[in-house]
């Protein structure tokens, strides 16, 4: 969804070259509704320009710096030459990320979502995060906790988190769970050691996954998983707990998996 307002002087904007004239380049702003800017020939490239078409082509996506905005005359002055390569790459990536976030919003709330409702939800997310993409990324990593300080309803938060965890690729995800292990036999210590080895995977955990098991307080043990994505992390956490409980139960012990620390262990 595009912004209905105006960019500010100094902003970097993404646009598509719509028309090339002898005196400059007209650019349709991709991030704003019905907004078009002009980069004068002197702002297209550094140095003397013989032919504007030697530097840009119609349909080309460019990143430009906003020089001036005159709302009354509907005029936006742009500079293409004032954007360096690093800024260009960074802005294009940001724009692509926001396009992804826009698509995730439609996946979460339906393609027929009304503009007003979309804006209300988006603005609630933007009160906590700089971009919608950041909000979805944090939701993928931290779940409902990432949005608990917003004014979104529980259903809206659940929809965002579910969509984020199905679609967002993040550098890594950390998840934690707990398993209670106990056995009342003389061989109990060895049985628990074996169950913990099973929890650690016995060397069968995927290379891209980091898994550790630590003692919290009898009979509770903490399982931490670091993985490239949420689904993998959750699957490995549950598999680890399942291996541990199966191992202890096979020798007559008790095993139980839970997501939060027991209150009496605080």
SS3 state at 201: coil
Q: Is 171 exposed, middle or buried (0-12, 13-18, 19+ CB in 10 A)?
A: exposed
CA atoms of 261 and 231, how far apart (whole Å)? 22
> Which pLDDT score, from 0 to 100, does residue 264 have?
52
> Which pLDDT score, from 0 to 100, does residue 218 have?
83
The answer, yes or no, to whether residue 266 has pLDDT greater than 50, is no
> Which pLDDT score, from 0 to 100, does residue 265 have?
47
pTM: predicted TM-score of the whole model, two decimal places? 0.62
In tens, the pLDDT along 227-259 reads 888 888 999 999 999 999 999 999 999 999 998
> Which pLDDT score, from 0 to 100, does residue 228 have?
81
Q: What is the DSSP string of 44-65?
A: TSSS--S-GGGT--TT-EEEEE
Among residues of the chain, what percentage have pLDDT more than 90?
A: 76
* Distance in angstroms between the alpha carbons of the first and the last residue of the chain: 46
> Which pLDDT score, from 0 to 100, does residue 91 have?
95
Judge: domain 87-167, CATH 3.30.1490: no
Extract the runs of DSSP E, i.e. beta strands, from the chain: 12-21, 24-29, 36-40, 61-70, 75-79, 173-182, 210-217, 220-227, 254-258
According to CATH, the topology of domain 173-261 is Alpha-Beta Plaits (3.30.70)
**Residue-range domain boundaries for the chain:** 12-81, 87-167, 173-261
pLDDT band at 17 (very low <50, low <70, confident <90, very high): very high
According to CATH, the topology of domain 12-81 is OB fold (Dihydrolipoamide Acetyltransferase, E2P) (2.40.50)
In tens, the pLDDT along 57-89 reads 999 999 999 999 999 999 999 999 999 999 999
Tokens of 144: 């409902």
Q: Which of 147, 172, 150 is nearest to 162 (CA)?
A: 147
pLDDT band at 204 (very low <50, low <70, confident <90, very high): confident
Tokens of 127: 């009160």
């Amino acid at each position: 969804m595009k912004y209905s307002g105006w960019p500010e002087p100094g902003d970097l904007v993404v646009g598509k070259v719509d028309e090339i004239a002898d005196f400059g380049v007209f650019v349709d702003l991709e991030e704003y509704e019905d907004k078009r800017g002009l980069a004068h020939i002197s702002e297209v490239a550094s140095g003397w320009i013989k032919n504007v078409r030697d530097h840009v082509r119609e349909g080309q996506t460019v990143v430009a710096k906003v020089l001036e905005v005159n709302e009354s005359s509907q005029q936006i002055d742009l500079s293409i030459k004032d954007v360096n390569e690093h800024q260009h790459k960074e802005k294009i990536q940001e724009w692509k990320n926001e396009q992804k976030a826009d698509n995730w919003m439609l996946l979460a709330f339906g393609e027929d979502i009304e503009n007003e409702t979309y804006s209300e939800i988006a603005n609630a997310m933007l009160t906590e995060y700089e971009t919608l993409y950041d909000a979805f990324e944090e939701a993928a990593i931290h779940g409902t906790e990432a949005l608990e300080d917003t004014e979104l309803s529980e259903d809206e938060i659940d929809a965002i988190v579910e969509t984020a965890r199905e679609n967002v690729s993040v550098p890594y995800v950390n998840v934690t769970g707990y398993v209670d292990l106990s056995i009342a036999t003389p061989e109990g210590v060895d049985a628990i050691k074996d169950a913990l080895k099973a929890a650690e995977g016995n060397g069968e955990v995927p290379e891209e996954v980091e898994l550790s098991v630590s003692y919290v307080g009898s009979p509770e043990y903490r399982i931490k998983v670091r993985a490239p994505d949420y689904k993998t992390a959750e699957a490995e956490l549950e598999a680890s707990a399942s291996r541990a409980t199966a191992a202890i139960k096979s020798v007559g012990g008790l095993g139980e998996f839970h997501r939060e620390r027991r209150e009496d262990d605080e």
